[in-house]
Amino acid sequence: MTNTGITNDTHADTHTDANATRTIAAYAALTAKSPLQKTTVERRTVGEHDIVIDVRFSGICHSDIHQVNEDWGTGIFPMVPGHEIAGVVSEVGPGVTKWKAGDRVGVGCFVDSCRTCDNCRAGQEQYCTGGATFTYNAIGRDGRPTYGGYAKEVVVDENYALRIPDNLPLDAAAPLLCAGITLYSPLTHWGAGPGKKVAIVGLGGLGHMGVKIAHALGADVTVLSQSLRKREDGVKLGADDYRATSDPATFTELAGRFDLVVNTVSADLDLSAYLGLLRTDGTLVQVGAPEKPVSVNAHALLLGRRSLAGSMIGGLRATQDMLDFCGEHGITAEIELIRADQINEAYERVLASDVRYRFVIDAATI
Ligand code: NAP
Ligand code: ZN
């Protein structure tokens, strides 16, 4: 069954098929805020329309840390984070038509949805009104807790896996499944392209993908970072301009400049100051997910008919479009590949903004 060397325990004999599980090696937080440690979890066995993915690489998203720390509310423990999953299909259920063993696939932030609501039908499963089933820290439609990609294997419905283009290495492609789509979606929705001026706030995991994708779409890209420390990197990634938000002159010099500002920062920023950077009819899109409510000065909105919007990941169709776009343009993440026993150290470094620009776990070390 698995390549983990771990065999199913006696659970398998005492359950009906529908309840049968497979035991998977994984890294989990056993309780809120606790360090991640090696353990095993029970996943469902392959169902009619399921595929088993031999996880090769799993990105570390800041959202993983938010959820382990219960920044957004009560979590489900043990929690196996990871929603930037890249791997290879190892088994398919009898009803599977899209995939075969050996296919290179990815799984992002959700693994199921109601499939019938307006949003699901429009390919915006992330906004499923029946509630999308998130890849971890959720209860799946099979009634079991979902577990993410810090694991040897995942079992998912065939429709919720995406094809990773052959020319993209799986390790550096893994972060596309969350960081990539989270920026591609608002950039394309709000028309980033030739003649458009786009600012990306925060040069971390999401931000650096935003710079690469906005540049490839043909937009003029400015990075707004806390300091000029990473300026050289930003320019290499495709930025036309790079400014420090710690310098008040940035906000006067760039006032009214941008068509689109995408804020990837989860810290409490003065959004009114960033709204002031927009031209008439410009949009500030919030993708960073702070713990606390944000507030804005209404004058910063009405002066210039500016919009404040939010955006969450992207639907299956958009995620496949993004992967194909990245394949055509040779875009992947800048990664630091780590062993699974370095996850806790990586979390500390992400929290200290010391990431260049995504940590990716080598699943062979789990
Ligand atoms: P990350 O790698 O930690 O990057 C965040 C960046 O924000 C940092 O690199 C830093 O960039 C900047 N930053 C950090 N602390 C700051 C502070 N106190 N003041 C100003 N800037 C600060 O995180 P990520 O993985 O990109 O995720 C960013 C946020 O997006 C998280 O809240 C995450 O949960 C959320 N997220 C949302 C979605 C969605 O669908 N909307 C999807 C994934 C993640 P500089 O050093 O350049 O300033
Ligand atoms: Zn994420």
| Cβ 151 vs Cβ 27: under 8 Å | yes
Q: pLDDT tens digits for 173-226?
A: 999 999 999 999 999 999 999 999 999 999 999 999 999 999 999 999 999 999
CATH number belonging to domain 11-178+314-324+333-365: 3.90.180.10
What CATH number belongs to 179-310?
Answer: 3.40.50.720
- Given 3-state DSSP classes, what are the helix, strand and coil percentages for the chain, each rounded to the nearest 5? 30, 25, 45
Which numbered ligand comes closest to the C-alpha of 67?
1
The first and second tokens of residue 352, run together, are 């200290």
Residue 206 Cα to ligand 2 middle (Å):
8
Structural domain spans, the chain: 11-178+314-324+333-365, 179-310
Cβ(294)–Cβ(265) under 8 Å?
Answer: no
Query: pLDDT of 307-348, one tens digit each?
Result: 999 999 999 999 999 999 999 999 999 999 999 999 999 999
Q: How far apart are CA 303 and CA 279, in angstroms?
A: 10
Sequence letter at residue 74: T
Residues of the chain with pLDDT under 70: 1-18
Give the number of C-alpha atoms closer than 13 A to the C-alpha of residue 191, restricted to the C-beta side. 8
> Rounded to the nearest whole angstrom, what is the distance from the C-alpha of residue 169 to the centroid of ligand 1?
24
CB atoms within 10 A of CB 228: 14
What's the predicted TM-score (pTM) here? 0.95
E runs forming strands in 16-127: 21-29, 36-44, 50-59, 85-92, 104-107, 110-112
Identify the pLDDT of residue 334: 98
Alpha-carbon span 205 to 209, nearest angstrom:
7
Residue 8 is predicted with a pLDDT of 36
Number of CB atoms found within 10 A of residue 129's CB: 12
- What token pair was written down for 71? 């920044």
Asked if domains 11-178+314-324+333-365 and 179-310 share a fold, the reply is no
Output the CA–CA distances (angstroms, integers) from residue 141 to 12, 17, 138, 155, 316, in the order listed: 20, 16, 10, 13, 18
First to last CA, the chain: 17
Take residue 323 and report the two structure tokens written for it: 């992967």
Query: Taking CB atoms and a 6 Å cutoff, what residues make up the pocket around ligand 1?
Result: 61-63, 66, 178, 182, 202-207, 225-226, 264-267, 287-289, 311-313, 350, 353, 355
